Structure 1
């Protein structure tokens, strides 16, 4: 994950609208897009996973600071899960049950603390609204059928995230595909979004971006050409740019700095 602070781009806002619709309608949603466009970052941010992940993984004695995590998880009531490569359906079922129970316990604790619920219940599933599965191409046909069956039994909304083409793959499973209510394409950053992101990257390096300045305009054009609006490539490029500027004691971002940073990266087809 990028060390930079999360940036709410237009693509992220569109994802939030999509995810809210899936959660509200209690349906299945498919989100697809090229690698590095920000799908995973948006999904994790939506589920408040950066805030909650450590607590959910290191399950142990409670602390007063955990109340903030409970409140965050209660906001969207969403589980975020990434299956491992070649994971069996049994392992996926166990992982989801384990993770869902922990998230539901946190939500229930928030509701008890706020007075919305009087006492704990054994029906923890009722606190969950949605499950988001990243890298969903890793799900084999049996796992997909298991997720469809889980959706039918629990009425918990489901979002499957993956690369372009996954929607065609899932269309070969009519029982699953017939339940898909929304499909969303997560696109690379448009020109105005890229400038919005770059303004914050410039600021992180202690500079101000001026689109009217010829040097800055050249640098922006070089970055746009190299990254094609790919969020992950922007991060990787700026990491190298920062290193090059430090080594060479430079204080200005130029297209030469951008090109030098580009030469250190292995950039595939996006």
Structure 2
């Protein structure tokens, strides 16, 4: 994703939740409506933006990879998203590969090649550095896949977070062996009014403008965006490129209620 990450109160709450799960070596459930920012926060926490290409394609190394090794050492986290048709065997193989590659990167940071004897390389002797697995789109998991994750949690003492839509906690309550190990549940909420204003100020600034809530035109624009998005972060991020487009096409300088309505008309706005 190329969009600039905006640190919100909900992201801070997610970070505190993930830290607690990781420290407690327990299982956590994170649920919230589509588009509120759950996946973005998980990717940020796991430094996935930096590490995605290296962990996915596993190609030749470069000097810049040292920053990725350091980031993975800091997070000690693997982010995994199962596909719709992921089987338990596929999950096992893909998760093992992700953990193995992450361990190798962390070890590259802790013991760079040529700085120690082979005996100092902990991972090659079975040491695991990964402390947390985050599984996004967890509703896709079948009962056998849940059992596999529970077994890995029990055997390897790696904390686990499952992310999904509201109702996730009720879905997993039907699996007592898994649910009895859940230590934390976290609801990821839409942006509140103060947070929405903070994010809008950033967007106004990116367009070279200043947002003034006391100005009648700006106040109308804020109200229109709040009504359209209902604090949904994804809808907000989709709306602003269209606002910029409407301004440019019509050679306008001010973001008005009419501009926002025109931008909205180009989008398919689902239920938030």
TM-score, normalisation: structure 2: 0.96
How do residues 7-46 of structure 1 correspond to structure 2 at under 5 angstroms?
A: 7-46=6-45
- 1:216-236 per-position Cα deviation (integer Å, ceiling 9, x unaligned): 111000000100000000011
Task: State the distance in 2 between where 1:58 and 1:13 align.
Answer: 30
Distance 1:206 1:155, change over 3 A: same
Gaps of 5+ in 1: none
How do residues 121-160 of structure 1 correspond to structure 2 at under 5 angstroms?
A: 121-124=123-126, 126-160=128-162
| Residue aligning to 1:233 | 235
- 1:186-217 per-position Cα deviation (integer Å, ceiling 9, x unaligned): 00000000000001111111111111111111
Task: State the distance in 2 between where 1:163 and 1:125 align.
Answer: 34
Shift, 1:245, TM fit: 1.0
Task: State the distance in 2 between where 1:263 and 1:76 align.
Answer: 41
Shift, 1:124, TM fit: 4.9
| Residue aligning to 2:245 | 243
Partner secondary structure for residue 79 of structure 1: strand
- 1:27-62 per-position Cα deviation (integer Å, ceiling 9, x unaligned): 000000000000000000000000110111121221
Q: Is the 8 A contact 2:104 2:123 kept in 1?
A: no
TM-score, normalisation: structure 1: 0.96
Distance 1:124 1:53, change over 3 A: farther
Report whether the alignment pairs 1:199 with 2:201: yes
Q: Is the 8 A contact 1:33 1:185 kept in 2?
A: yes
Shift, 1:17, TM fit: 0.2
Q: CA RMSD in A?
A: 1.5
Task: State the distance in 1 between where 2:101 and 2:208 align.
Answer: 41
Task: State the distance in 1 between where 2:78 and 2:204 align.
Answer: 34
How do residues 95-106 of structure 1 correspond to structure 2 at under 5 angstroms?
A: 95-106=94-105
**Number of aligned positions between the proteins:** 269
Distance 1:208 1:140, change over 3 A: same
Q: Is the 8 A contact 1:112 1:119 kept in 2?
A: yes
Report whether the alignment pairs 1:4 with 2:3: yes
Gaps of 5+ in 2: none
